[in-house]
Amino acid sequence: MEVQAPCKEISEVCTSGCFPVPLINLFESGNTKRRARATSTRTTRSNFVKSSTGSVFLNTHFTNHESLPSLAEAFHSFITIYPEYGETQRADHIRGNEFSHLSSHVCLDYTGLSLFSYAQMHPSAPSPSSSSIPSTSSHLQPPFFSISYKSASLSSQLRRGDQDIDLESAIRQKIMHFFNILDDEYCMVCTANRTAAFRLLAESYPFHSNKRLLGVYDYESEAVNAMAESARRRGAKVMSASFSWPSLRIHSASLKEKLRNRKKKRSGLFVFPVQSAITGARYPYLWMNLAKASGWQVALDACALGPKDLDTLAISLLRPDFIVCSFIKVLGENPSGFAGLFVKKSSIATLQSSTIARSIGVVSIDPARMLSQLDDDFSATNLDAEPSITELDYSVRYGKDAEVSVIDEKMEILCRGLDHADSLGLMLINNRLRCITNWLIIALMKLQHPPSETGRPLVKIYGPRVKFDRGPALAFNIFDWKGEKVKPVLVQKLADRSNISLGRGFLSNIRFADEYETEKDEVLEGRRSPCEMKVAGKRGKEMCGINVVNASLSFLTNFEDAYRLWIFVAKFLDADFVDKEKWRYINLNQKMVAV
């Protein structure tokens, strides 16, 4: 049977999330099978939403934080509504054995992928009793590393390839294997962080001929701003997708128009995140296909994706020209790390050398080794006998305690953070997070200022609400009984006092239809404070959007984390909560939070 190529006509691409028919043919044939599969998927999603909205605290609103159910009561109700959560206990075992520090800390402000586990980085911590990733004698602990900058252009670094047997090469190979990215199709370079990866790409991309940069972000991002600044300086026209209020869905007609290539030449660089790191909105993969069909090169921003979400992308079919991922050392304990920039080998030739690019952020990953440790090791050596140069060199280069091994001229490193996520798999992780995220959204929306009949909602959710395929992140704000927003920075600081780490974001690129125009002035606010605007002067361009609180869930998040966040937010039902917290910390001689 002849396999059809993916459709390249704009009119044939469904931007609601499904594959166009020709692309589906790559997986299965027959109209009957396709219809049955689509119907089954729609039914599953519909049933999930109905079950969630029709079961979680049905016909109930909470107007007093002291009236909330206990953790045991809430969990019993939760597991009754979402019995599939009980099938994800392996994640709880991994969390208890390998990430014990999370027992007292609700970590909802990390988005990078965790390379290592807490137990791996802290051998003195309780060791796992039944870990699914066994430790072997060929791997020593723990794998400390540091990064050092090197002066190299992106193109030269990519052409150099993986020529060394060292720690960086081992980590690169581990990451590419984890993402199922073939090394005969892509090369990877390490950068200091996500912002450095974006700026490095912008400084190396041929904007002199491909003159447009188009991003799809519903929030302000330091990395995207850095890329836009570099591209604009190099002569590119910078554009952004817009998001319709109040759903914050992509405004499809506008994005299609911006992607349209009237001159039939190479259009530029299309930067696509698949999922919003702030609202959790997921965008159809087919926007990438549409962009490529219109002459754009595609950069896939995978930094907000879960540990196995790339498995759903069919990289070998969609084949983005560039992929950016970010990594941290340990979730909830050590946010330091690096970013990975993957470049399709057939796209390397389009990149340019740049003096600025050589100084931006290409880094080497080196074993962290304190000089005092080296001195102690060397002094302990029996100097009467000729020291072993090979052993000493390995100790200096890779660290005496580096969890690496050299097998058949190839160094391997054990990254238990990645390995545990890999062992759980995409389905288990997604099912787990789907249950927790949607329960949390409904629970937050059930909080209401008294009286219960006419009271104002305590919480407003931005972007998708209860949805089967939403991402495990949510953007929200808290409003007092008068309808005034509690500043997100204050919410974040008070949460931190309760050992709950939350993030903040600034929603932007919001488009108001005529019917919502009256809400525009009430909803939007300036990104900068009046003081910052005064310093910037006339050159300072004000950006309008919405400051929000952000909670990002990971594959290690459990129900108790969501419950503890709910309990904390419910405290704002007490009209005097903020003042009580302020005076409590004054009496304890703590630094007062400005209100």
- Who has greater pLDDT, 265 or 582? 582
SS (H, E, C) 522-587: HHCEECCCHHHHHHHHHHCCCCEEEEEEEEECCCCCCHHHHHHHHHHHHHHHCCCHHHHHHHHHHH
Four-residue CA torsion sign, 388, 391, 393, 399: negative
* pTM confidence score: 0.84
For residue 126, name the pLDDT band (cuts at 50, 70, 90).
Answer: low
Q: What is the mean pLDDT of residues 264-292?
A: 92
Single-letter residue type at 291: A
For residue 160, name the pLDDT band (cuts at 50, 70, 90).
Answer: confident
Looking from the CA of 403 toward its CB, the CA atoms found within 13 Å total 20
Average pLDDT in the chain: 81
Residue with tokens 């499904």: 18
Whether 312 has a pLDDT exceeding 60, the answer reads yes
Whether 10 has a pLDDT exceeding 80, the answer reads no
Residues β-bridged to residue 269: 213, 297
For residue 6, name the pLDDT band (cuts at 50, 70, 90).
Answer: very low
- Who has greater pLDDT, 184 or 74? 74
Q: What is the mean pLDDT of residues 331-357?
A: 87
Q: What is the mean pLDDT of residues 13-19?
A: 41
User: What was the pLDDT predicted at 193?
Assistant: 93
For residue 182, name the pLDDT band (cuts at 50, 70, 90).
Answer: confident
For residue 536, name the pLDDT band (cuts at 50, 70, 90).
Answer: very low
Residue with tokens 């790559």: 26
**Max CA-CA distance within the chain?**
87
**DSSP code, position 123:** T
